[in-house]
Amino acid sequence: MHCDQGWQLDSLRFELDWVFGSHPTLQSWPPARNQLGWAPGAQLPKTLSALDAPWYVIAENSELGGDEQQIIDAFTRYTWAVDQWDLSLMDEIFAEDLYTDISPFGPLRSKREFLSTLLLFRTGRPYLHHAMGATEVIVDGDSAQLQVYRLVPYGATPELLERNIFGAIYDCTLQRKDGSWQFKSIKFTEGQLFEIPTA
C-alpha cells in the first residue's frame, strides 16, 4: 500500500511445500540432498551462512529496538544457526548454564552439552528448517519469557491453508547480560496439531 512515507508492505504470505512441492514453479526444483559430503554434480547450497547470514551482511543498527524485538531476533538467530549449521552464531546467545529439553535429546544442562549434542545430531542431516508462527514475549526487568509456535509437516488441504495450524511449541526463558539477551532455558514440545485463531 502507498502511504505518506512511500510504499509499505500491507501483508506477507509465506507458503511452504513440505515434500515435492504443490506449486508448479517448485516442481522443477531438485529435491534437497539427504546426505553430507561432496559428489560429482552435487547441487551447491544457495546460502552459505559464514558469508550470507544476516548478522554478518547487514550493518548493525545502532538502535537495537525494544526488548521484544531483540528477544525474537535472538530466537531467529538460533533457528537460522541450526538450519544453516553455523555454530558461531549460537555462542553468544546461550548462557553457560543453559538448560534445554528438546525432543529427541531430552534434558541437557549446559551450553556445551547442548551444542555438542546438536553437532552429533546434525551429522547426516544437511538440511533442516524452522517455520515459525505466532510469538508471545513477556519481559520483567532483565528476565523474559518467550513462547513460539512452530509449523510442522501435516496433510494440508486448500481449506486449511489460510488457518494458523501448528504442531509444536517452544517455551523459553532469557536473561539480559551485558546489554544482550541470552537463553537460560529452551523447552520444545511437539504433539497434536492445534489452531491459533486469527484476530
- 51 backbone dihedrals φ, ψ, rounded to 5°: -110, -30
**Model pTM score:** 0.78
Give 125-162 pLDDT, tens digit per residue: 656 678 787 789 999 999 999 999 887 666 666 676 66
Question: What is the CATH architecture of 65-190?
Answer: Roll (3.10)
Contacts of 64 (CB under 8 A, 6+ apart): 70
Residue 67, CB-side half-sphere exposure with 13 Å CA sphere: 18
Pairwise pLDDT comparison (124 vs 100), residue with the higher score: 100
Sequence ranges of the domains in the chain:
65-190
Contacts of 137 (CB under 8 A, 6+ apart): 67, 68, 71, 72, 144, 145, 146
Q: What does the alpha-carbon distance between residue 97 and residue 114 come to, in Å, rounded to a whole number?
A: 10
Angle, CA 26 vertex, CA 20 and CA 32 arms, to 5°: 55
Residue 148, CB-side half-sphere exposure with 13 Å CA sphere: 23
Greatest CA separation found in the chain?
54
Instruction: Give kind and range of the element (H or E) at residue 172.
Output: strand 165-177
Give 27-65 pLDDT, tens digit per residue: 666 666 666 677 787 777 778 888 999 998 987 766 667
Contact 171, 147 (CB under 8 A): yes
Pairwise pLDDT comparison (90 vs 12), residue with the higher score: 90
